């Protein structure tokens, strides 16, 4: 391998950081400056100035309203592209403001690298100005944290951070760099990684863990005995770039697919074998299919509480469960399985498909397909279509008519998030961006900005709620500052809709701290003040088709506030600690059984 063209050139630590980012293929940086990170921000400026003079591509720096926005932009960039997102922030509050996006990325296995400025080495531990114990704070929420105390290891550390972030089960890596290390000067090597033998040994085991013919044979023996097999696909399919392999496997052997919230897009929602989302707010037909299946094939999924609220009764008729995952810790953690493979999910699915074709596996699941078709017909998503009020489901159906499963859609967290998951189509992976495990309000807008930077030719839409968008509403200005054609739709129901739904169901309608009907925020004026030339409030049902069309077609950033029925609920709903048999389907979706609404126990989660 030829030497790096800059090998041996003397440069500052900050310039080394910038060069490693360029070498790693970074195409955008998200961040906010400050005293302890100023040398690196100066290096970004000088690098881009050199690129402009030499006619090389620059690495744009996107400056948000605050560091939490920067972290979520990096996450949106990573989720939409599959590349590592980069966030650069200063010490103290700059670093602590990124704790939530770092934890969010860890929970959803999203690869980002966060570079934090730190006070000079001599000042660490003295409560210096804007000092925070970043290793202690971040060590519990990140995949890995580095504190660079030896300048000679800076280059290798930053390069290693990218390796850890993107490999195995992806996740966020934080690099804490004192200001004097950024100012240090030394020779750039252009190569080299830190010795992390334990991690690399585990990684090598993963990459070498091929699915042999004997294991594949056992899997197909179970499939041969099944009458009603079902694939349960999670976010690991998308993170592992295994969506194509999953589609080929399911199509080759006629196995239907349900997905988790994080797995949306791993299988085309419009495909005949697609049963959409399962779980707490999954489609009724999807949850009933899980109850009915006799062989459950979990792929890149972890049986979390939003899916398997009562593990012993989840997939209760499944005689066997198979599990493919990249993380050994997830196998048999919640639900006992009869067959498993730990390794790269795409390779494992490809091996299964190849083996099945080689042995000419044939199984007629026609009766099961017919049963599922009847479930989809009888228990289809539905709502009060005659209501004079604007129903959020109708708005999203109309939006979906325009996007046809091809747009990138991000969301905040709450009812609007679940409605988007239920009513929008997704033709492939990395089109659905949402905060799953952490459920972080304020995620949608900055994530959409990051996604638009990563995929400039795509239509990117943030479907948000009036409460969720308030969390990071300052990023409206970021969208217009950089003239990003992000579309922002706020479904306004005057409050914390999901909290209100729970309060109505389980707290006798006491809307403690969740009703915002008396709040004074004028979202249209706020959007206009932040530079949105298209800022419209939609208040009449008859105007929905026309306005949605205008909104989608508008060239440039667009903001749409939709005044929806404040009492609209998210159904189906499986209460915490309850089974799919206890699923509440609401007034407009049939239920298999009469369900009495049960108040969650004292230890049950939100």
Tokens of 4: 């790096």
Enumerate the active-site residues. Answer: 67, 129-130, 179, 498
Report the distance separating Cα 438 and Cα 494, nearest Å: 23
- Provide CB contacts within 8 A for 314, sequence distance 6+: 290, 303, 307, 308, 335, 579, 580
Predicted TM-score (pTM) of this structure: 0.97
What is residue 1's predicted lDDT score, i.e. its pLDDT?
77
The stretch 54-70 carries a mean pLDDT of 98
CA distance 147 to 290: 46
* Rounded Cα distance, 326 and 328, in Å: 6
Three-class SS of residue 4? coil
| pLDDT number for residue 13 | 98
Q: What is the pLDDT of residues 566-601, one digit of tens each?
A: 999 999 999 988 999 999 999 999 999 888 887 787
Contacts of 288 (CB under 8 A, 6+ apart): 375, 379, 580, 592
How much is the pLDDT for 597? 80
Average pLDDT of the chain is 97
Query: Which among 86, 91, 175, 87 has a CA at the least distance from the CA of 133?
Result: 91
Q: What is the DSSP letter of 302?
A: -
Give the DSSP letter string of 37-83.
GHHHHHHHHHHHHHHHHHTPPP--EE--SSHHHHHHHHHHHHHHHSS
What is the C-alpha end-to-end distance of the chain, expressed in Å? 54
Q: Measure the CA–CA gap between 231 and 236, rounded to whole angstroms.
A: 13
- DSSP assignment of 528-582 equals HHTT-SEEEEE--GGGHHHHHHHHHH-SS-EEEEEE--TT----SB--TT--GGG
The span from the CA of 179 to the CA of 119, in Å, is 6
pLDDT score of 606 more than 80: no
DSSP, collapsed to helix, strand or coil, labels residue 198 as: helix
| The pair of three-digit structure tokens given for residue 142, joined into one six-digit string | 């990140």
Cis peptide before 572 (omega within 30 of 0): yes
Give the side-chain half-sphere CA count within 13 A for 40: 37
Rounded CA-CA distance 364/210 in Å is 28
For the chain, how big is the Rg over CA atoms in Å?
A: 25
Position 358 confidence tier, pLDDT thresholds 50, 70, 90: very high
Helix (H, G, I), strand (E, B) or coil at 18: helix
DSSP label of 176: E
Interatomic CA distance for residues 211 and 217, integer angstroms: 10
- The CA dihedral of 389, 392, 398, 402, to the nearest 10 degrees, is 150
**In order of start, what are the domains of the chain with their CATH numbers?**
10-201 (3.40.50.970), 209-378 (3.40.50.1220), 392-563 (3.40.50.970)
pLDDT in tens, 155-173: 999 999 999 999 999 999 9
What is the pLDDT at residue 593?
86
Q: Is 605 exposed, middle or buried (0-12, 13-18, 19+ CB in 10 A)?
A: exposed
H/E segment holding residue 348: helix 345-358
Secondary structure class of 146 (helix, strand, coil): strand
Which range, of 9-13, 406-410, 503-507, 594-598, averages the lowest pLDDT? 594-598
Q: Are 382 and 585 in contact (CB under 8 A)?
A: no
Question: What pLDDT is stored for residue 599 in this prediction?
Answer: 79
Tens of pLDDT, residue by residue over 469-512, are: 999 999 999 999 999 999 999 999 999 999 999 999 999 999 99
Q: What is the pLDDT of residue 118?
A: 98
Secondary structure of residue 416 in the 3-state scheme: helix
Per-residue pLDDT at 288 exceeds 90:
yes
DSSP state of 328: G
Average pLDDT, integer, range 384-401:
98
Dist CA 317 CA 314 (whole Å): 9
Distance of CA 479 to the CA centre of its chain: 20
pLDDT of residue 203: 95
Report whether 114 contacts 175 (CB < 8 A).
Answer: yes
Listing DSSP states for 32-49 in one string gives ---GGGHHHHHHHHHHHH
Query: What pLDDT does residue 604 have?
Result: 75
108/97 Cα distance (integer angstroms): 19
The predicted model gives 387-405 an average pLDDT of 98
- For residue 480, report the phi and psi dihedrals to the nearest 5 degrees: -80, -30
Peptide bond into 413 cis (omega under 30): no
Residue 61's pLDDT is: 98
pLDDT at residue 138, as a whole number:
98
CA 570/CA 502 separation, integer angstroms: 10
Scan for tokens 């504190």, then name that residue.
Answer: 147
DSSP class of 513: T
Residues 6 or more apart in contact with residue 517 via CB below 8 angstroms: 494, 495, 566
Residue 371 CB coordination number (10 Å): 16
| Mean pLDDT along residues 360-376 | 97
């Amino acid at each position: 391998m030829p030497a790096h063209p800059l090998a041996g050139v003397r440069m500052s630590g900050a310039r080394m950081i910038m060069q490693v980012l360029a070498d790693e293929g970074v195409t955008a940086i998200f961040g906010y400056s400050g005293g302890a990170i100023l040398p690196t921000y100066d290096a970004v400026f000088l690098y881009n100035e050199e690129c402009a003079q030499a006619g090389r591509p620059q690495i744009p720096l996107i400056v948000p309203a605050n560091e939490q926005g920067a972290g979520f932009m990096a996450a949106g960039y990573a989720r939409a592209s599959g590349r590592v997102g980069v966030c650069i922030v200063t010490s103290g509050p700059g670093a602590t403001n990124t704790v939530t996006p770092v934890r969010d990325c860890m929970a959803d296995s999203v690869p980002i690298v966060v570079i934090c400025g730190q006070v000079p080495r001599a000042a660490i531990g003295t409560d210096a100005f804007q000092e925070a114990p970043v290793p202690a704070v971040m060590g519990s929420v990140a995949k890995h944290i580095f504190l660079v105390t030896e300048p000679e290891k800076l280059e290798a550390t930053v390069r290693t951070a990218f390796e850890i972030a993107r490999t195995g089960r992806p996740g966020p890596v934080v690099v804490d760099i004192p200001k004097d290390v950024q100012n240090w000067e030394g020779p750039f090597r252009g190569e080299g990684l830190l010795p992390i033998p334990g991690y690399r040994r585990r990684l090598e085991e993963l990459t070498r863990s091929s699915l042999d013919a004997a294991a594949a044979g056992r899997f197909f023996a179970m499939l041969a005995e099944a009458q009603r097999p079902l694939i349960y696909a999670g976010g690991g399919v998308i993170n592992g770039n295994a969506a194509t392999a999953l589609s080929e496997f399911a199509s080759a052997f006629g196995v239907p697919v349900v997905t988790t919230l994080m797995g949306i897009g791993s299988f085309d929602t419009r495909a005949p074998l697609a049963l959409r989302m399962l779980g707490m707010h999954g489609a009724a037909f999807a949850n009933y299919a899980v109850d009915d299946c006799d062989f459950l094939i979990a792929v890149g999924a972890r049986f979390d509480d939003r899916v398997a609220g009562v593990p012993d009764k989840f997939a209760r008729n499944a005689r066997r469960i198979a599990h493919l995952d990249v993380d050994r810790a997830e196998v048999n953690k919640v639900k006992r399985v009869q067959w498993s493979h730990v390794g790269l999910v795409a390779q494992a699915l490809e091996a299964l498909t190849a083996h099945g074709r080689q042995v000419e596996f044939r199984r007629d699941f026609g009766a099961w397909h017919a049963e599922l078709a009847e479930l989809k017909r009888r228990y289809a998503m539905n709502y009060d279509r005659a209501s004079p009020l604007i129903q959020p489901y109708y708005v999203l159906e109309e939006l979906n008519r325009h996007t046809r499963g091809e747009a990138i859609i991000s969301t905040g967290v709450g009812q609007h998030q679940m409605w988007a998951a239920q009513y929008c189509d997704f033709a492939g992976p990395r089109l659905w961006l949402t905060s799953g495990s952490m459920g972080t309000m304020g995620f949608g807008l900055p994530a959409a900005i990051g996604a638009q930077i990563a995929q400039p030719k795509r239509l990117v839409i943030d479907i948000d709620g009036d409460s969720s968008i308030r969390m990071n509403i300052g990023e409206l200005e970021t969208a217009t500052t950089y003239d990003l054609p992000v579309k922002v739709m706020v479904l306004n129901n005057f409050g914390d809709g999901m909290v209100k739904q729970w309060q109505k169901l389980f707290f006798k309608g006491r809307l403690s701290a969740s009703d915002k009907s008396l709040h004074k925020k004028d979202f249209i004026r706020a959007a206009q003040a932040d530079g949105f030339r298209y800022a419209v409030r939609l208040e009449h049902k008859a105007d929905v088709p026309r306005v949605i069309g205008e909104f989608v077609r508008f060239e440039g950033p667009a903001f749409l506030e939709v005044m929806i029925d404040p009492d609209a609920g998210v159904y189906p709903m499986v209460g915490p600690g309850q089974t799919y048999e206890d699923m509440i389907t609401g007034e407009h979706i049939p239920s298999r059984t009469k369900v009495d609404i049960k108040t969650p126990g004292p230890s049950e989660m939100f």
